[in-house]
Amino acid sequence: MRKVFQAELHQVGEQLVEISRLVTEAIEKANTAFTTADTELAQDVIASDARIDFLQNNLDERAIEILALQGPVASDLRVIVGSLRMSASLERMGDLARHIAQLARMRYPELVVPEHLRPTFDEFAEQDIAISRLLTQLLDTRDLDLARDIARRNDRVNELHAGIFKAIAAPDFSGSPATAVDVALASRYFERFADHGISVSRKVTYLVTGEWTVNGDAV
């Protein structure tokens, strides 16, 4: 029975990795659609989000079944509950990639952000995509050096997000009110994507060390 239980836990872990890979694919495609006004690619991201939702629901049902049938001890219970919470964060990351794609589709044939802010959003995407890729590796390997890298990148995303709000509040911002709203929304989506990534990273760190950490420091 114990071998069966461990195999079930392993399958839950593999499902988390699979969802994370799909999230990475979603944010990569969403960013391409965002920067090129590619509506076909945007629609692909929007449609593919249903797959992430399905896998999350499937994982949650499996985890709840394990809880009900196996009566896990404290250490295993921590893994199962952590998996439920991580799957929710990953699903939300997929939603945020979809939101970015929806913005691109809504503003077609124009780009969402004005030209002078595009380098900032290019870096937003670079950091988010790196976080998502690192997160997949972290879920697969439990290498906490990856978690520290994710935390550093999340700090940079927060800086970029703060800079965007300063830019659209500046007296010399020449965009329309609709553009200001689009820019603020896009910035929020990229920032929240990274936030959910750091949330998953911290849960993995907790499973490995038994301690909650913020940017590598115990709390």
Model confidence pLDDT, tens digit, residues 166-198: 999 999 999 899 999 999 999 999 999 999 999
DSSP bridge partners of 214:
217
pLDDT mean over 44-71? 90
Residue percentage of the chain with pLDDT more than 90: 77
- Residue 55 pLDDT greater than 80, yes or no: yes
pLDDT mean over 3-8? 71
- Residue 162 pLDDT greater than 90, yes or no: yes
What 3-state class would DSSP assign to 215?
A: coil
- Residue 9 pLDDT greater than 90, yes or no: no
pLDDT of residue 212: 63
Mean pLDDT of the chain: 91
Q: CA 6, 7, 9, 11: dihedral to nearest 10 degrees?
A: 170
- Residue 35 pLDDT greater than 80, yes or no: yes
CB 164 within 8 A of CB 130: no
- Residue 217 pLDDT greater than 60, yes or no: no
pLDDT mean over 41-63? 95
The one-letter amino acid at 199: S
pLDDT band at 218 (very low <50, low <70, confident <90, very high): very low
- Report d(CA 198, CA 5) in Å as an integer: 29
pLDDT mean over 52-80? 82
DSSP bridge partners of 217:
214
CATH topology of domain 2-218: Methane Monooxygenase Hydroxylase; Chain G, domain 1 (1.20.58)
CB 75 within 8 A of CB 40: no
User: Which tokens go with 37?
Assistant: 């006004």
CB 120 within 8 A of CB 164: yes
pLDDT mean over 112-129? 96
pLDDT of residue 128: 98
Neighbours of 167 (CB within 10 A): 18
pLDDT of residue 211: 73
